[in-house]
Structure formats: C-alpha cells, structure tokens
Structure 1
Amino acid sequence: MILSACALDSSSSKQSAVPEKKVNTPAKDTGVKEFKATNLSALPEKAKSRKDLFIAGISAPGGVFLPYFYENGWDGNATSPIFAPLVDLDKEGKPVGILADKWDVSSDQLTYTFHLRKGLTFSDGSPLTADDVAFTLTLLHDPAYEGYQDISLAAIKGGKEYKEGKAKTIEGIKVKDKQTIEITTTEVNAKALLLLGGQVLSKAYYGNDYEYGKLDYLKDLYSKPLGAGPYKFIKYVPDQEIRYEANEHYYAGKPKTKNLIFKVIDTSTSLQLFETGELDYASFSADDDTVGQLQSLGFANVRVGPVNDFGLIYVNNSRPQFKDKEVRQALIYGLDRQKIVDVKFKNYGEVANVPVSKVSWAYNDEGINKYEFNASKAKELLDQAGWKVGKDGIREKDGKPFVIHYLTRTAEDPIIPIAKENYEDIGIKFEPEIMDFNALIAKLNKKDYDFASVSTSQILDPSDPVEEFATNNPNNAAGYSNPKVDELIKKGLNTLDIEKRKEIYHELYKELSEDPPVILVHYRQSARAISGQIQGLIPDNYTGIGASLPNISIKK
C-alpha cells in the first residue's frame, strides 16, 4: 500500500468506469452524479488567459520522482506523467498496452512475453528497448532495494537467487530481441501482468553507475527524472509547483497541450484556487456546500461519486499495549466511527468494515462484525485483557498507564475530539500530535507511533491494501502477524479465477475482522471539478487524470 492522504485526483477510483450521463442524472451502477457547465462566460480571467497550459493541484510531494523508490503517494502522482508502463488499465479496468504493443501468456499462465512497440524512445530521444525492461526488473530484485514494490510477488524464476547473491543474472528474464522480452514465473499470480509490465526505467540513465547491492547512487537522480511518458520533467519548486513540458518523443504523439503544472496546494484552499481560475482541475471531499458552490460557478463541469480508497487508523501491533487482539477489538468498539463519518463527510461517506473499497468486485461485508459503537463491550474486553482502571480513571497494566499517541496531519481532524472523548470514557488517554505528511510517513516506516491516520492509495486490485499485513512484507507498517492471513493473502493471488478470488477475500475479510490489524474508518465520495474550457479530460476510476493528459486541449 502506498500511503497517501489522497491521490492527485483524490476523487478518482480505479474500479468501475464512469459513463457519460445527462445533467443531474445519477449513473446506475456507480453512484456518480454529473453536472455540466452552464455559463462559460463566467470563467475567471486567469483561466481564460492560459492558452497552452493545464494546471492541476497536488498536495504534498516529497521530491522523490522515481518510480518504485518514493515513499509518498504524492510523488507517485508526480511521476505518472513522466514514466510510462508496458501495461496499464483502461477506463473499464481492463489491461491495455502502453509501451507494449501486445503480450502473450503461456497456457500454464507462468510465462509472459511482451512485444514492445517499434521505435520507442525516452524523452531525451534515446532508444527504449527490452534491455531497459530487464534492467528495471533486475533493479527491483537487488538486495539493497527497499521500496514499496514487492517484486517477489511476481515470483520470477531465479529472482530469489539473484537477490540472495547466488546468481549473477535472473534466470527467468530473457531478452529475445530489442522489442521482445520473455519472463518466466514459478507461481500463478493474478497481479503478475501489472507487476511485470510496470513503468520502465532507462538502463543507460539509471543503470550507468549500477553495482549489485549498491543503490544509493540513485538518490542523486531522484530530482532529475527521465522517462518515456507523455510529459518530461522541467522543474520542481518545493512547496510551489512541479513543471512539465510535452514530450515530443511520446509513442502516441506529442500531447495536445504543451505545458503542464502540478501546483502544490493546501487542500483547504483548493476550492478558492479553482474558483479564481488558478486551477483547471481539482477534487474535493464531497459535501452539500461544496457541491452546491461548484455548481453555482457556472463554468465548471462537476462529477460527484465514490472514491476507490478507504480511510483507516494504523495501529502499531508491535507495541505491547496493542499485541492482544481483544485490545484492538476494544479500540474499535470504543470509537464512534459513525459520528466521525457524519462529522467529516455528512451524507457523502460511510463507515468502512472491510479493507477494500465499495466499488471493488471483491467487496463483501456479509457476516462481518460491524463493530458498532459499544463502550460497554470495549470496557469488558479491556478488563479481560488485564487493563484495569486506576485511581485517576486511566487504565493500567503492569504499572503502565494506557496512553495512545495519535499522529495526524491537521488539528481539524474530527477523529481528535471524538476519540479523545470516547477513549477517555473507557479509561484510555488519547494525545494527538500534528505533523506534516512526510514526517508522518517517516514515523510509520520506522514503526515509531501508536496510532496514525491515513487513507490508502487508489486500489487496482483487492490484494493491494491487504498485502502489507503479511508477516514478511517489508512494508508491514502495522507490525501485524497472523499465519492464516498470510495464507489467504497468498491464495488470493495464486489464482486468476475471479470467482475463486472473491471467496478467498471474503474469508480473509472475516479473519481480519476477528483479528484486526488496524481500525477501518470510512469510505468517502469526492467532487471533481473541471474548468469548462478544458476538453479531453475524462477522469476515470483507474488512472484518475493520468490517461487523459495527452489528450487535454483548451477551448479557444
């Protein structure tokens, strides 16, 4: 899971497509409502003056603009225009070739052969070949690689031996010619196609100084990205903007709009920036006031619908007070999550009870404990776990008081007052700590926290948000371990049969409910606003605005 406050397109889900609809008509299956611009003459002068520039908001990039190496989900959004994958998902969630013209899968579903498009180049004009794909996959197997991509899930033949230093090459990766690469795996994996067909790094650029077991040299290139995407990186001004320019070498042709800016914004001011024309596109947590205000502008095309993520509170299972599952259960019972959702989202959110979005084909909460707010049940479980109420009203065990330090990005977080009241009622002291997102991520990765509030990134596959709960996953920030969960996570990936996968994930959700690693909080909806003069921008539920970027034009 890439931790992200929300994606660049914080409303973009990566699940079901959003068909075109008439004004004010809800989409039948997605819960999406669409409102068309009614008065383009109301466009702000700042927006009208832009003839060859598209501006969208981004929240908190960390400056690591290299796929597979960033820790901040915003950096993932920042790199998406720069780097292209072999395979992506279309607006219906089906695999589609980007740099790969086509691919073949063997009858035993273990060998993938990718056929690259002819004449591919990186943005500097240098050729992109199968050697670059092989280099990218090899880099991810290097023992010094500690990023978010767990390439071991693809089970490439010989990958483990290479990582352990027992082989100098990866047996399962074979470059057949400049346009063809064959990759043999040892296990059937439902995510293998996207894992193997990810964003491609230039061997000449990123591999020039490569030595086995030494990847620190790449840090000098984090701020100097080179890729094969529709746009090339020009400049990053911290806390201000990321500037891009159309890539004339892009395989599908130079994008229609020459200049692109991701403007670094505070989400609290994004509505104002859109209203004044400083943004051409923005997304917001939906509520009646925001949706009404966007409609009243007249110059905005607005879509309101569910987001393909969920909000949660990380619980550090490696700390003694959270090791007992009865304590974690009590912490869910003792928190009024419905009140949090009502305060934060009003009519545009729901309490989350399974770790996948409601738009996912894997979503199923039948037979799942909903953990409805029950302070008495929470107290009972804490008593059973040996946490007794002390003289000052705070529970203690082995002479240590029960105190929760909660990390969050904003003092306006509604969890703070509600959790403080709820938990103190059951004998737990709750102390919030406000910090910026990058600092919060750093503490998560070091497991230097009690509670931390985050949202998931967009969910491509139901395995995405649960993989990190596997005992040996390097990104297991919750410090969680459950052998049955480990087994079910693996089973969910080891079949391509979607009906079997549904059954496996439902069983997994039941186990994660009984032995919860985190506190699930909410599902939400967002409102997407697009300036009426922008044409060709069609946010979808899988790539957000990414797939549209090459096609954006400005109505003259």
Structure 2
Amino acid sequence: MKRFSLPNRITGLFTRKEHHTLLGGQGEVEKKIVFSLAKSRFPSYAQLHYLPKYLNPRERLALRCLVGLIMIALVFVGIRFYERNVEILPDYGGELVEALIGQPQYINPVLAQTNDTDTDLTRLIYSGLLRFNEQQEIVPDLAEQFEISEDQKSYTLKLRSGLRWSDGEPLTSDDVLFTVETIQDTAVLSPLSPSLRGVTIERLDDLTVRFTLNEPFAPFLTTLTFGILPTHIWGDVLPSNLRLAEYNTRPVGSGPYMFDSLQKNRAGDIRTYTIVPNPYYFGGKPFIPKITFRIFPDFETAMEAAKSRKVDNVSFVPRNLKSELINERDVNFKALLLPQYTAVFFYQKNELLKDKSIREALARAVNKKEILSQALGGDGTIADGPIPQGFVGFHKDIKKYDFDTAAARKVLDDSGWAFLEGETVRKKGSRELRFTLTTVDQPEYVKTAELLKQYWEQIQVGVEVVIIEPSQFEREILRPKKYEALLYGELIGFDPDPFPFWHSSQSLGEGLNLASYFNKQADKLLEEARKINNADERSAKYVEFQNLLIDDLPAIFLYTPSYTYAIDEKVKGVVATRITVPADRFNGITNWYIKTRREWK
C-alpha cells in the first residue's frame, strides 16, 4: 500500500476531494462517512481528537514539534506585546535602612552645618525658601516665586499658599522672619550667620518677605536654601538655650519626611532614628514610607553592618573600604562629583617658589592621570582649573600644562637651574632647588604627595614631604600659612565664586587664598563677577580670570574627587550625579522608590 506524507494525511483529514487516493477497506468507508456528515471543511474538536490515531509515530512527533514551535512563538509575541504596552511605575511601599556615621546633635537648620549626620536629617525634615534639584540647580521650595530688583540688592519671595508644618500648624512669613533673625542673633552662634551679615529682612504680608543687601551679590540665592524653623515651636526658647532644646532631636519641620521615633543605648547615644512621610508636605507623598537611619561610631563598623545586610545604604564609603563591600554583596556605588579641587598651592612669598619657571617645570612633571588612578582609585576627574565642570564659569578650553618630563627638565635648564655630575638636585650658583611639600595625614593626600615627590625627583628637584595630623593641621599649618608648597583641597560650595579662594584680600588672617596670590586684574574681575546675576556675563568674567590665574600658575590643579554613596540595588530613582555637601544626595528623595507597579500604556 502506498505511504502518504504527513501533509497529505492531514489534508486528507481536513478537506474534501472529488478524486482521492483509494485507501480501501473499512478506513475508506469511514472517511467517506465523515466527509459526508461534515458541515464545513475545518475539522471539529472531535475530529482533531482523532488526528494522532491517523498519523504514524514519526508524523506525530513532527506534529508535536510544530505545535511546540507555534506555542513558543505565541508566548514570545505575547511577551513582546506586554513589554511594549505595559510600563513599570514607582509604587508606594518598602523600607530603607541607611548607615550614618556620628551622633546627631542638632537636627536644626540654624545649627546643623558642621555635622554630616545633622545636615542629612535636617535636609529630609526641613524645607527652605529655595532648594537645589538633582542637577544642583536652584528651584523654588517653600517660595513659589521670587523677584530681584533692578539694582540687584532686593530679593522678594512669595510663599506657596496653604503651607503647613508637620504638626498641622500654618507656615507663614512670620516663620521666615523668625528664622533669619535667629540666625543673625549673636547669642545663637549659628554657622549661617556670616552668610546673612548685613542682610535685612522685612515681612510684607503673610506670604511675602523681602531681603535687602548692602550691595549686589550674585550668589545670594544659594544662601536661601537653609531650612525654615517654626516660630510656634522655637519662639519661646531663649537664644542662649537653643542648643539645649529637645526639638533639636525631635523636630517639627515642613520637609518631605517627619520625625517618627528614635532609640538610644544605655549610654544615651542614639542607635536608630526613624522618619516617615510628612502628611502636610506640599511636594507630594514620597514613595518610601519609612526610612530608618542606623547610627555608627565609625566607617569600619558601618561597613560590617552593610556586609551582613543589616543596612541597605551607606552614607559614604571610604576608598580603602570599598573593596570589602564589593566582595560581600551587590550594591550600586554612586560616584557623586564634589565641587572641590585638590591642588598644590605654592606660597607666593617664598623666595624660591616665586620663580615662575620653577612652578612651570613642576607642573609639567606631574602625571595627573596616574595620581587619579593610584591615589583615588579612579574615583574622580582630572582638574585643570578652579571651577569644576557643571558650574557657571567652567573653562573647557583652559590652558593645560601637559605631562612631559623632558619639557620640564628643559624649562629648568633654560632658566639656569643646572644639574651637575655628582649632585642630587639642581643648583643655580650655590643655591639648591629644594623645598618642602606639606599635607594632612589622610590616605588620599599621603599617596598623592608620594607620587609628586617621585615626579619632581625625576627632574632633579629635592622635595621633603611633611605629613601633619588632622587635629593640628588647621591651627599649626593653615592659619599661619606655615608651608612652602601645600597639598590640600578646597571645597567651593553651592556657588562657584572664586573670590574667597583667590582674591588678594583673602590672603590675610584666616583667608582661604592658600597661595597668597595677588593680581590686580584678577581681583577686579572677581569683584565685578560676584555682582552680576546674568550667568553668561558672569561666566565671561570667570573665564578671563582663569586665563590670568593659569598663566600666573600659583597652584597646580590636580583632581576633583567624587563622593561614593553605596545604594542597595533595590532602591531606584536616584539620579543625582554631583553634590555640594553630603546631604545633597537626598535631593529628589521623593522620587526614590523600592516597590513598582505595572500599568497599560
């Protein structure tokens, strides 16, 4: 009997034919009966049920494979359709546990400026008139709008209507007035006092206040990001008793979160501090309903807790401990760029280092890429000037002193600093080319100093590295400017204004002009720039200033470090890329989430 192929057998089962192959016997009769009774050519379920009996084993296997492939294709198409038509959205839920280092003392915006734990908690519990967003741009917070007068001396801010404190009490301009007057009260000793010196404030109505300055000051808006205190809570507290009040650890604020609870050990130290969403927050309900901060005395203890999964996030991970956490669990290390640069500052009153040719040779002998790799483990970016990328005035085409040891030697040769056979350092006459490099005893600085010593000894310059304990550094080195060359970092702050670091007036006393740099034209540009609110005009002044600074070479800019924030992989929505202070990592906290939900588009 002739064997039929699988397609022919299936076709024979599913279709009528005027002429079909003789099968003979009872099977042919049954087939004729089936075809005569069928109302359509497409088989019924009952007919399909008999299909396997109609096929031989090989054909049944082939059919099963075909059906399997069809099912897989349908599943794949279904998944693709689902993915294209359903979006994953943040949802309310979950709990975040973060490690903080150091005891909270003053969760109070008037006092919390020197303790990172205080500023972290203050940022979450209080709101300011203005705030920084994730891109470090000034945006409205409690104030919905502001106006600057034509003479740029008056700033008028209007509060949002319906604002309330976390206890439900109304928030008005009286609270703003009270906060500013508290900061300016000399009995309070607020770290914010210098930023509001000479500033007057007046209440125009329940929602409006006006600040008046003695002269234009472009960075003033960044000053208005401090948190506002509730006068109904603090109004009866004597200024001299402000630091003793219970509300410093159990605050009432207006931020996205509010105080919930704290736990102490037998010694009275706070072990955990829990916050929950503020139901009266004007900016919308955060997705994370509970954040618990576990307080640790040092980074080593915090890292042990992270490795054992007792905490999700770690507020800061020192570079020397980062590898420990990488090997133990899956976390995302968020590298947040700081508005800070590390540089070698040449004290301009030093007779040897006043010679620009020496400074140029030293600059050309430095391998910044190697320093960034070996001293920071790559956690940062190379710096060539005093204004970091992303700030007004960043100079992308700034003059660079590229690493070139041979060129560095030639600069010294041409300027009369000879290296004679049998000598260890260069000389000009009887004078040796030798100086001290002073820095603070921190791993990053110590390693950088070691590398600098190597680079400079390769061009026959004698360098003695002096390492000072952190507790002694400010008093014994910085204030009296007791150094020849100084390896140190300067934190710029919220605004890139270089005035505090490079204007000649800041060379005196405890000023931050660490090189004692003086250039009349540079002074003039800095004075003019800080009075200009227009970003483009101000930027042009800063670019011109930087051209002068880099040409004069009072310092070698090395790198901008990054701040490493360890974030558990379950936490999503953290988009910040740079910060000014550690608390800035919480900018955009209302957009963070742990849980998700799916919705059809």
2:223 equivalent to 1:195? yes
Deviation at 1:176, TM superposition (A): 1.6
Matches within 5 A, 1:86-235: 86-106=129-149, 109-118=152-161, 120=163, 128-138=171-181, 147=191, 150-151=194-195, 160=198, 172-202=200-230, 205=234, 208-210=237-239, 220=244, 224=248, 226=251, 228=253, 229=255, 230-232=257-259, 234=262
* Other-structure match for 2:454: 421
1:17 aligned partner: none
The alignment status of 1:462 with 2:502, answered yes or no, reads no
Structure 2 equivalent of residue 337 of structure 1 = 368
- Give SS of 2:124's match: coil
| Contact kept? 2:338, 2:563, Cα under 8 Å | no
| Residues 291, 527 of structure 1: 8 Å contact kept | no
**Distance in 2 (alpha carbons) for counterparts of 1:67 and 1:318:** 39
1:170-204 per-residue CA deviation (whole Å, 9 max, x = no partner) reads 6x421123322112335444322232353324556
Aligned counterparts of 2:216 and 2:378: Cα–Cα separation in 1: 42
SS class of match (2:390): coil
CA distance in 2, matches of 1:417, 1:85: 44
1:11 aligned partner? none
1:494 maps onto 2:531 in alignment: yes
* Residue 459 to residue 227, structure 1, CA distance change in 2 (3 Å): farther
Deviations 1:386-445 (A, max 9, x none): 999998859899999733332132288421321233345544443343645x76566676
* Shift in CA distance, 108/417, structure 1 to aligned 2, threshold 3 Å: closer
Q: Secondary structure at the match of 1:467?
A: helix
**1:114, distance to aligned residue in structure 2 (A):** 1.6
Deviation at 1:100, TM superposition (A): 1.7
- Give the 3 Å change call, closer, same or farther, for CA 123–320 of structure 1 in structure 2: farther
Q: Which residue of 1 aligns with 2:467?
A: 433
Question: Against the structure 1 CA distance between its residues 322 and 353, is the aligned structure 2 distance closer, same or farther, given a 3 Å change threshold?
Answer: farther
Whether the 8 Å CA contact 2:342–2:558 is kept in 1: the answer is yes
User: CA 1:179–1:541 in structure 2 vs 1: closer, same or farther (change >3 Å)?
Assistant: same
Tell which has more relative contact order, 1 or 2 (C-alpha 8 A, sep 6+): 1
Instruction: Please say if residues 285 and 345 of structure 1, whose CA atoms lie closer than 8 Å, have aligned partners that are also in contact.
Output: no
Q: Give per-residue Cα distances to partners, 1:59-114, cap 9 Å, x unaligned.
A: x7896655466346675445422432110122344432222233333455443222
Are 1:476 and 2:512 counterparts?
Answer: yes
Q: Give the equivalent residue in structure 2 for 1:309.
A: 339
Is 2:307–2:325's contact at 8 Å kept on the other side of the alignment? Answer: no
Whether the 8 Å contact between 2:339 and 2:492 is mirrored in structure 1 is yes
2:313 to 271, 275, 281: 281
Kindly indicate whether the alpha-carbon contact (under 8 Å) linking 1:316 and 1:322 is maintained by their aligned counterparts in 2.
Answer: no
| Structure 1, 393-402 or 517-526: larger mean CA deviation | 393-402
Equivalent in 551, 569, 575 of residue 532 of structure 1 = 569
CA shift digits 1:291-341 (9 cap, x unpaired): 9958x95x54x4766724343036374874687373655654454433212
- Quote the residue 2:585 is aligned against: 545
- Give the CA deviation at 1:351: 2.6
| Offset at residue 342 of structure 1 (A) | 3.0
SS in 1 for 2:202: strand
Give the distance between the partners of 1:358 and 1:409, measured in 2 at CA.
Answer: 25
Tell me, yes or no, if structure 1 residue 258 matches structure 2 residue 290: yes
| 1:405–1:362 Cα change, 3 Å | closer
Which structure has greater helix proportion? 2
Partners of 1:508 and 1:532 in 2: how far apart? 44
Tell me the SS of whatever aligns to 1:80.
helix
Matched letter for residue 516 of structure 2: Y
Does the aligned pair in 2 maintain the 1:244–1:259 contact within 8 Å? yes
Q: From the superposition, tell whether residues 363 and 175 of structure 1 become closer, same or farther in structure 2 (CA, over 3 Å).
A: same
1:506 to 1:61, Cα distance in 2 relative to 1, 3 A: farther
The residue type paired with residue 151 of structure 1 is: S
Matched residue type, 2:204? K
Q: Secondary structure at the match of 2:372?
A: helix
Q: Deviations over 1:273-302 (max 9, x none)?
A: 545424423566899x969958x95x54x4
- Alpha carbons of structure 1 residues 525 and 141: separation in structure 2 relative to 1, 3 Å: closer
In structure 2, the residue matched to 1:364 is: 395
Larger CA Rg, structure 1 vs 2: 2
User: Which amino acid in structure 2 is aligned with residue 257 of structure 1?
Assistant: P
Percentage of pairs with the same residue: 19
The whole-number CA distance in structure 1 between the counterparts of 2:360 and 2:242 is 43
For residues 493-513 of structure 1, what are the alpha-carbon distances to aligned partners after superposition, in whole Å with 9 as ceiling and x for unaligned? 322322222211111212221
SS at match of 1:416: helix
**Contact 1:235–1:242 (Cα < 8 Å) also in 2:** yes
Query: CA RMSD, aligned part only?
Result: 5.1
Provide closer, same or farther for how the CA distance between residues 522 and 506 of structure 1 changes in structure 2, counting only shifts above 3 A.
Answer: same
1:47 alignment counterpart? none
Deviations 1:223-247 (A, max 9, x none): 9354623344957999996734336
1: CA distance, partners of 2:116 / 2:475: 13
**Corresponding position of 2:30:** none
The AA in structure 2 aligned to 1:83 is Y
Displacement of 1:55 after TM fit? Answer: 0.8
Q: Distance in 2 between matches of 1:133 and 1:345?
A: 42
On the 8 A contact 1:315/1:517 being kept in 2, the answer is yes
- Alpha-carbon distance in structure 1 between the residues aligned to 2:237 and 2:432: 57
| CA distance 1:240–1:146, change in 2 (3 Å) | closer
Q: Distance in 2 between matches of 1:516 and 1:422?
A: 18
Structure 2 gap segments, 5+ residues each? 1-92, 597-601
* Pair 132,54 (structure 1): closer, same or farther in 2 beyond 3 Å: same
Query: SS of 2:544's equivalent?
Result: helix
CA contact (8 A) 2:109 2:119 kept: yes
Contact kept in structure 2, 1:358 and 1:523, CA below 8 Å? no
Q: Deviations over 1:244-291 (max 9, x none)?
A: 43364753377543333165586678777545424423566899x969
> Are the structure 2 counterparts of residues 484 and 305 from structure 1 closer, same or farther at C-alpha, using a change threshold of 3 Å?
same
CA distance in structure 2 between the aligned counterparts of 1:221 and 1:324, rounded to whole angstroms: 53
Structure 2 residue corresponding to 1:352, chosen from 378, 383, 392: 383
Q: Say how many residue pairs are matched.
A: 479
3-state DSSP class of the match of 1:496? coil
Cα deviation 1:34-74 (Å, max 9, x = unaligned): xxxxxxxxxxxxxxxx964421455x789665546634667
CA 322–104 in structure 1, closer or farther in 2 if over 3 Å, else same: farther
Other structure's SS at 1:114 match: strand
TM-score, normalised on structure 2? 0.62
